[in-house]
Amino acid sequence: MSAYDHDVDKEVYDITIVGGGPAGLFATFYSGIRNMKTKLIEALPHLGGQLSTLYPDKYVYDVPGYTKILARDLVKKLEEQAMQVNPTIRLNEKLIALRHLDEKLIELETTRGLHYSKTVLLTTGMGVISMKKLGIPSVERFEGRGVYYLITNKWMFRDKKVIIVGGGDSAVDWALELKDIASEVVLVHRRAGFRAHEAKVVELFSSRIRKLIPYVVRDAHGSEKLESVTLTNVETGEEVTLEADALIPQIGYEIDNSLYKSWGLDVDEHGIKVNGRMETNIPGIFAVGDAASPIGSPKLNLIAIGFAQAIIAVNCAKHYIDPNASIFPGHIVKLT
């Protein structure tokens, strides 16, 4: 049976990891080297999570050992690492419900059937994410025809005039990413302060990217596709209209974590509440990465943090299953 077969598997696994992003892939690898029978369930038809879906051509800078690495290449490396331990992989399956059948047996209901596991590790992100929109009718009518909230192929903007809206990490990152691809990049932000990482803001202001501050989008123009955008200075009311092939609003996102609540998990505005062992309020269910909100600890949505939390969760899950098993197994020398 291939690791990617989708036949119903009624075996009881030691750990079922829900979410195939970076944290989920690394947790899959680590649980395998702890000799845990491991299954990974992913709602998308491919692994990699946001790295594969939202920005495969974007560089990632906060992974140890790499000065920078393309998101798609990082996913490939993580997948190769995880496949060494021969996990069972289920793609195109969305988790619907979690139920405790007894003290150490959990039933997972997905869109494709039922699964059984002694422990569950949620690496599912913060919930259902939807990008915030500008709410301007003339802008929304060009969505997909010059207005883009998600970028999956940065090369589509080669030699284009691009306007990016926002002052957070996504806006600044994409401005820097596209500055050597597009013919012109204009970053529009409504205030002087930026929420993006300080180093990226310094790089932004040292670049040839045109910055329009403090401006907001007022209107969009064109016939069959976007041709120009009108901006308004929020302090003076002055208006300027710029030619544009693409408008990319990056003004944040909204999160719906109601599904977590329906499973009986304690959540706050940052995600699923976990303790230092990455345990949720339900025995045997753990959460890490963007999905987790550590109690009494800062929440940092970084890939490196997700990797570290995955190690903690897997080791604690191993001990939960077998109290005689050490939480810290020692250092890994080689795979056996």
- In order, the DSSP letters of 66-91 are -S-EEHHHHHHHHHHHHHTT--EEE-
Q: Tokens 């949720």 correspond to what residue? A: 280
Q: What is the pLDDT of residue 15?
A: 98
Contacts of 120 (CB under 8 A, 6+ apart): 15, 16, 17, 18, 98, 106, 108, 284, 285, 286
Quote the CA–CA distance of 143 and 162 in Å, as a whole number: 14
H-only helix segments in 34-179: 50-53, 71-83, 137-140, 169-178
5 has pLDDT over 50: no
29-38, 91-100, 158-167: which has the minimum mean pLDDT? 91-100
51 has pLDDT over 80: yes
Quote the CA–CA distance of 37 and 26 in Å, as a whole number: 15
Q: pLDDT tens digit string along 76-134?
A: 999 999 999 999 999 999 999 999 998 889 999 999 999 999 999 999 987 666 678 99
* % residues pLDDT > 70 (the chain): 94
Residue ranges of the chain assigned to CATH 3.50.50.60: 12-129+254-321, 133-251
Quote the CA–CA distance of 328 and 36 in Å, as a whole number: 14
More confident residue, 61 or 82: 82
325 has pLDDT over 70: yes
Collect contacts of 189-198 with beta carbons under 8 A, ≥24 apart: 189/165, 189/213, 189/214, 189/215, 190/214, 190/215, 190/216, 190/234, 191/167, 193/167, 194/167, 194/168, 195/167, 195/168, 195/169, 196/167, 196/168, 196/169, 196/171, 196/172, 197/169, 197/172
Whether the model pTM is above 0.85: no
Architecture of domain 133-251: 3-Layer(bba) Sandwich (3.50)
Quote the CA–CA distance of 281 and 56 in Å, as a whole number: 34
Side chain identity at residue 300, one-letter code = L
Q: What is the pLDDT of residue 132?
A: 86
| Res. 153 pLDDT band, cuts 50 70 90 | confident
Q: pLDDT tens digit string along 261-282?
A: 899 999 998 899 999 999 999 9
* % residues pLDDT > 90 (the chain): 77
The rounded mean pLDDT for the chain is 91
Q: What is the pLDDT of residue 4?
A: 47
Q: Tell me whether residue 321 is exposed, middle or buried, using C-beta atoms within 10 angstroms of its C-beta: 0 to 12, 13 to 18, 19 or more.
A: middle
Q: Specify the CATH class of 12-129+254-321 in words.
A: alpha beta
Q: What is the pLDDT of residue 95?
A: 92
